[in-house]
Structure 1
Amino acid sequence: MAYKSDNSNPDSKKEFIFQNKNYTFMFIGLAFIVIGFILMSGGGSDDPNVFNPEIYSFRRIRLAPTLVLIGLGIEIYAILLNPHKKN
């Protein structure tokens, strides 16, 4: 059974699924994720025999993963956001 496509109607307007509001929130979420990974990087030692306690700093253990999770939450919100909804 074949379905007829609606391409024969010249008045049909093609729309994107996401609007500018969705993309704005996606870029904000992406910025949070990138900042989180930048804060998480570093802290290692060049010499494998020397321990560097900077690996366990607040920035790498608490702040950076929290920023990444917040960024992922913003990304989920941006995907689920309906810009066509009337207030």
Structure 2
Amino acid sequence: MGEKKRKEAAKQTEFIFERKNYKFMLIGIAFITLGFIIMAGGGSDDPNVFNPEIYSWRRIRLAPALILIGFGFEVYAILLKPSKKE
């Protein structure tokens, strides 16, 4: 009898997040990853030579903005209410 109750309880187990939550989480991870990829590079092979490309608009403005947008998606995905199933 106890085994039957456990099987019924296992069937009724629900996840904390739903499919749409995970979709927004993946979108956020994609934005964060893209931001870090864009931010990478711009260095110089020779330490005695300065490369001003490290201060480009892409690395100073665009990449951090994409990362913050990604974090915004992550927060939204976590706080998104599950739809009511009745």
Pairwise TM-score range, normalised by the shorter structure: 0.7 to 0.9
Which runs of 4 or more aligned residues in structure 1 lie more than 6 Å from their structure 2 counterparts after TM superposition? none
Structural RMSD (CA): 2.0
What amino acid does structure 2 have at the position aligned with 1:75?
A: E
Q: CA deviation at 1:85?
A: 5.0
Query: Alignment partner of 1:66: what SS?
Result: helix
- Structure with greater helix share of residues: 2
Moved more, 50-59 or 12-21: 12-21
The residue number in structure 1 matching 2:48 is 49
The residue number in structure 1 matching 2:26 is 27
Q: CA deviation at 1:84?
A: 1.7
How many matched pairs? 80
The residue number in structure 1 matching 2:36 is 37
Percent pairwise identity: 70
| Gap runs ≥5 in structure 1 | 1-7
Q: CA deviation at 1:83?
A: 2.3
TM-score after normalising by structure 2: 0.85
